[in-house]
Structure 1
Amino acid sequence: MWEFIDERKAQIAFSAYQHVSLVLQAVLVATVIAVVLAVVVTRFRPLEPVANAVSAMGLTIPSFALLGLLVPLVGIGVASAFVAVTFYATLPILRNAVVGLQGVDARLVESAHGMGMNTLATLTRVRLPLAWPVILAGIRVSTQMSMGIAAIAAYVLGPGLGQLIYTGLAQIGGANALNSALVGTLGVVILALAIDALLLLLGRLTISKGIRA
C-alpha cells in the first residue's frame, strides 16, 4: 500500500484537498441556512415540530436516492455532490440551532431589550453567543457525517477521495483495487478526525469560559 501511495501521492493529495474543500464549503453554507431557519422557527413556535419532522425525515432519505434525484436537476459532477452534502449537513445543525436558541434564558433576552438593544443586536450579541456551544456541536456532527456523504457523492462523479474508493470497488480482484479502496477510506477517516480536532479548537477559541462545558 505504501508503494501505491508513493506512486500516486500527488493525485491522493489533490483528491484529499477536493474532499475537504467540498465538505467545508457545504457545511459553511449549511450552517448559514440552518441558523437562519432556526431563528425563524424560534420566533414562530408552531414551526418547531415542522422543523423537527423535516430534520428527522431528511436524514432517512438514502444518499444514493437523493443523488439520483439531483442528477436530472443539476447534472452529474460537483453541483450534485455539493447540493447533496449541503442538504444532509443542514439537518443536524438546524436541530441543534433550534435547541440552542430555545435554551437561552428569557430573562437575559429581556435584560438586553431593557438595555436598549434591538432584536438584531439581541440575536447577535446575546442569543447566538449563548447558543453557540450547542450549534457548534451540531456542526461537528454534521461535518463528520458530510465526510462520508462526500465520498458517496463520487457515484455522480463528485470530487474527493470517494473516487479512489469507487475505483477500487469497481476493479475488485484487480491489481491495486484493494489499495485504492483502503487509501480512500482511511483518507476520509483521517481527514474527518483532523477537521473535528480543528472544530474542537475553534470551540476553545470562540466559546466563553463562563458557558464552556
Structure 2
Amino acid sequence: MFIIKDSSNTYLQIQDNNTIISNLNVYGTIHTNDFLFYQTNQWKLYHIDTFDKKDNKWIPSDVSTCGNSPDTFLGGPCKFGPIEAYIKITNIPKHTKLKIKMRIHFFDTWDGDSLFLQVDDKIIWTESHKSNDTTSTNLGIDVCGENAPDRLSVSVDSEFEHSADSTNILLGNTLKKTTNSCITSWGIDDFIIYYK
C-alpha cells in the first residue's frame, strides 16, 4: 500500500490493483516526514557530496579527476596520503539511526595499511589494502597517479545508532607520516548520509 495523506485527508492511496485519488495536484516539490514500507520506517536522504562542485565543506577540500573522466572525487594522488579528511554535518532532523555510504579509492602502492571511517570519535568502518607485488598493470587497472594498479570504488555502507542533531565525520588511515602521497594515496566519492 502507498498512501499520501496529512492529519485529516488521504490524497492518494494505492493498494493491490486499486488506486484512489482524491484531488491531488502537485506543482513543485513534495516533502515528507516519513517513508513507511510494511509499517517499517525507511531511510531518508539527508546529505550528499559528489564533489562535482568546488564548494564542498570537507577539510581539506582538494578534489581530483583521473584520465579523461569528468568525475571528480575528494583527494587523489599527490593530495591525500597520510592525512585525515573531516566534515561536520549539522541540523540533522530527529532520528535514531544514521547510514553512511560512499566509494573509496586506493591509488597506487599500498602495503597493507588501512583507511577508516570515524563518526563522533568511534571507528565504524575500516578496510586494508595491499597492492600486488608487482607494479605491472597486467594484474589490475592503472587509472590515476603512478604506473601501478588502483583499487577503485570500494563500497562503504555502514549504519549505526545516532540521535544527535550533528555529527563529526573523519576519514583517516594508518599510513606512516613520511608516506609520499604521490606513491600511496586515496580518495572518496559519492558520500551520502541517510537517517531514520
Q: TM-score, normalised by structure 1?
A: 0.27
The structure that is helix-richer by fraction is: 1
- 1 or 2 for the larger relative contact order (CA 8 Å, sep ≥6)? 2
The structure that is strand-richer by fraction is: 2
Larger radius of gyration: 2
Q: TM-score, normalised by structure 2?
A: 0.29
